[in-house]
Structure 1
């Protein structure tokens, strides 16, 4: 393999002396779907926040495509192709699905959301927004306010807005959290589709989703890496079984 697209080296995050993440080193290979898993309190959300730049590490370094991004802000790494979605849907409730994706398209260019652009540019944005909504199965919801979409379709809209930022790497935070079985299957298929030609790093509790989607799995416990490998390898590891049965510590 070549150089990892994301490379974390000895990441530490302390909160008032408590080690939420303690010495985590992680390589995410380009073109893979990589999961961070662990019992509640294992430190995976803190680790994810560090990698997506929503938290600054106490120590350690993060590189993206070979460049040190340890001190970058989230908006800067997003413009460079490292784009995050959230466990709690982060769309604008009062805007339509089309308008939400349009905002992401304009944000990718560093512009504010307005209607003062040339008709040609606005038409191109609308066409691209429709393509993205079609890709995530929302072709019948162009003009539906986000607040009126069912939960699973709202998460699909969030993925469409993430795609609107043209990411090389998609960071997905619990993409199937709180979903009914039917929605979980739909979002799993959607992630498989949009991962083509991209890298995906995800935090996910649903081990069925992880086993179906992920090329590599990193298991955290008490803020440290417990084991890493493909799903079958980590699922058989006695330390992983004990971690899930016995709890994952704090973090």
Structure 2
């Protein structure tokens, strides 16, 4: 998908935690259809930016526009219902439920009602076809009946992606999607992200630079809460300021 118009824009986004400026005047544009990465050294402000975008944290100043609408003061649930949906660094699935049941719960939530655990199995089965299709999308079609607690770590993250996709996001925010994974799982999850992005926009925080290089159309580099550089991976990886921030090379 060729990136198009802006789906998300921030202007001079700032967060001050009692005198500590965690985010300093970040202006960010995410184009529809892009895979856009936020990278930077530890403490650069990446997760705080995500918390601001999803309204888990309120900005001190600045604005956030999603799909042309000002969401700067909206509640997290309102933002999610509009299609800006986030995954987290730590896998968040129901361990005692099967993979299918986890996705089915997310599909119930996407319909705008309560979870309705007391509904009959027959009623819940209405969602099974869509749940199975989402499991197939992330390569878990053979694991539908397996309790989440029994899945290996990489498959738990794939299941989390399926539950996130069940919410039908227009913009998918992925926070360290390959954290803690072995090489084989990293490659598998990177491919899942690529497939998910065929019909969606993705903004991701990721430390694994080969993953960023192989996936992302645009990379924004943060340092000490501010934008240091932005461009393609080839552009930012040659930027002397980026090299200095990562490896201490002289600018």
Establish whether TM, by shorter chain, passes 0.5: yes
Maintained 8 Å contact 1:3/1:66: no
Q: State the shift of 1:122 in Å.
A: 3.0
Indicate the residue corresponding to 1:213 in structure 2. 215
Pairing 1:26–2:46 present: no
2:200 to 198, 201, 204: 198
TM normalised by structure 2 equals: 0.94
2:173 to 155, 161, 171: 171
Instruction: Please give the alpha-carbon distance, in whole angstroms, between the structure 1 residues aligned to 2:103 and 2:10.
Output: 31
Moved more, 56-65 or 109-118: 109-118
1:11 to 10, 13, 36: 13
Secondary structure of 1:92's partner?
Answer: coil
Instruction: Please give the alpha-carbon distance, in whole angstroms, between the structure 1 residues aligned to 2:4 and 2:203.
Output: 18
Moved more, 29-38 or 134-143: 134-143
Maintained 8 Å contact 2:91/2:160: yes
**Could you list the runs of 4 or more consecutive aligned residues of structure 1 that deviate by over 2 angstroms after TM superposition?**
114-124
1:3-22 alpha-carbon deviations (Å, 9 max, x no partner): 41000010000111110000
Indicate the residue corresponding to 1:92 in structure 2. 94
Indicate the residue corresponding to 1:189 in structure 2. 191
Instruction: Please give the alpha-carbon distance, in whole angstroms, between the structure 2 residues aligned to 1:7 and 1:120.
Output: 43
Instruction: Please give the alpha-carbon distance, in whole angstroms, between the structure 1 residues aligned to 2:199 and 2:141.
Output: 23
Indicate the residue corresponding to 1:123 in structure 2. 125
Maintained 8 Å contact 2:94/2:148: yes
Give the aligned length: 247
Unaligned runs of 5+ in 2: none
Secondary structure of 2:14's partner?
Answer: strand
Q: State the shift of 1:72 in Å.
A: 1.3
Q: State the shift of 1:124 in Å.
A: 3.1
Indicate the residue corresponding to 2:182 in structure 1. 180
Indicate the residue corresponding to 2:82 in structure 1. 80
1:201-243 alpha-carbon deviations (Å, 9 max, x no partner): 0000000000000000000001100000011000000000000
